[in-house]
A and B are shown apart, each in its own frame.
Chain A
Amino acid sequence: MKRFDCLKSLVPMLSDEIVIISLGGQIDEWYHLRPSHKNMYIKGMGAVIPFAFGLSVALPHRKIICSDTDGSLLLNMGILATLGNENPNNLIVMILDNECYETIAKHPTHTSKNVDLAEMARGAGIKNAFTVKTVSEFMDRMKRALKLNELSFIVLKLEPGSQAFPEEERKRSDGIEDKYNFVRYLESSENITIFPREQKSIRKIEAKHNWNNTKL
């Protein structure tokens, strides 16, 4: 199963869902498939699911989809325990598990051997935790997860490999631009202020200054 095919099958299911994207080849693929400020790209292994969970706390009425990787989750497995206890009903976590650190010469991750992330998620108390191995299985689980008002955790077993795009079709915004695009989208769609506007000068001019007598 290819990652690009799975991501492609997800796009028609979405409307105003917020999507949090992790690192690696999925960035350009998702940017190509769903160019939108409803996406936020987080460049921080181990921080992606926690960040998405934080958003789900702040925006309980919005559906948040978090697309993380096996390598990133393995860096901070503790988040499974937190999710299992907090049980955010508006969060869907997808783990794109290609069993390797693909950008680092496909160095194998622990999921290439004995580690079963869905089983670990279930052990942490996440009852809707599944592994999928075909695109149709993924679509079926994702359709159900989108309808369900419960935390879902879907591990996608993938073959390594990324879709290649011409340079001009690749995402070119950086982490700060991504943040502002996302924040401005949230501010307008939620009618909130996340970063306050510049404060107007509160200093009063007590007396009018006569610039004619001033040597500039």
Chain B
Amino acid sequence: MKENSVKLVMESLKEAGINTIIVLPDSRFKELYPALASDPYFRYIPVTNEGEGVAIAAGVMLGGRGAVMLMENSGLRVAIEPLSRLGHTHEIPVFMIMSYVGDIGERNWWGITHGLNMVSLLQAMHIPYIIVRKNDEIKDAIVRAKHHTAVSKYHVAVVLCGEVTE
């Protein structure tokens, strides 16, 4: 990610009222992590897998603080079970920001299924999502999506790709 994209994501998180960042690192966001971890505004929590991470995010959210699970899109495959339990059984929402590995133009053969699975899993789970390819769309997407989790009581995903993760 370029410096400008990192700055825009951080500003958008603040504007959306998100101060707790739950992270399973992904190479496409690597410039974002040190920036988030060193900003005292954020509580930065690395986790061991995305299933654990979304459940932590749900607890933070239900306790009245803004949280996001920051992950690679392949992590959605890991997180589906807790997302279903939290989202369907309890209607406790989780806000996720994920990379779009496997987007058209992907350079790695192994990444293609990440993209195919992401779209089909988001749709299978009826999780609304916004795909953000341009820097000037970041803020609107993050602020709107975060607000939507609280109103819909259900998960929402923002998928960052294109110019944003270059």
Using a CB–CB cutoff of 8 Å, the interface residues on chain A facing chain B are 40, 42-44, 46-48, 50-59, 76, 78-79, 81-82, 85-86, 175-176, 178-179, 182-183, 186-187, 190, 192-196
Instruction: Give A89 Cβ to nearest chain B Cβ, in Å.
Output: 14
A57 touches B62 (CB 8 A): no
Interface of B is mostly: helix
Question: How many residue pairs at the A-B interface have CB separations less than 8 Å?
Answer: 123
Surface stretch bound by A, among B26-34, B44-52, B122-130 = B44-52
B105 within 8 A of A: no
B59 touches A54 (CB 8 A): yes
Q: Which residues of B contact A190 (CB under 8 A)?
A: 64
21 examples of A-B residue contacts, CB within 8 angstroms: A42-B85, A46-B55, A46-B81, A47-B55, A48-B55, A50-B55, A51-B56, A51-B86, A54-B61, A57-B20, A57-B45, A57-B56, A58-B60, A78-B47, A82-B45, A82-B52, A175-B90, A186-B62, A186-B63, A192-B64, A195-B150
Bound form: Cα–Cα A58–B65 in Å:
6
Q: Which residues of B contact A187 (CB under 8 A)?
A: 64
Asked if A55 meets B82 with Cβ closer than 8 Å, knowing A47-B51, A78-B48, A79-B48, the reply is no
B91 touches A176 (CB 8 A): yes
Q: Which residues of A contact B63 (CB under 8 A)?
A: 54-55, 57-59, 186, 194
Asked if A53 meets B59 with Cβ closer than 8 Å, knowing A58-B64, A79-B48, A190-B64, the reply is yes
A51 touches B59 (CB 8 A): yes
B51 touches A76 (CB 8 A): yes
Instruction: Give B116 Cβ to nearest chain A Cβ, in Å.
Output: 26
A44 touches B48 (CB 8 A): no
Q: Which of B55-92 contact A (CB under 8 A)?
A: 55-65, 67, 81-82, 85-86, 89-92
Instruction: Give A67 Cβ to nearest chain B Cβ, in Å.
Output: 15
Asked if A43 meets B90 with Cβ closer than 8 Å, knowing A50-B55, A55-B60, the reply is yes
Using a CB–CB cutoff of 8 Å, the interface residues on chain B facing chain A are 20, 43, 45-49, 51-53, 55-65, 67, 81-82, 85-86, 89-92, 150-151, 153
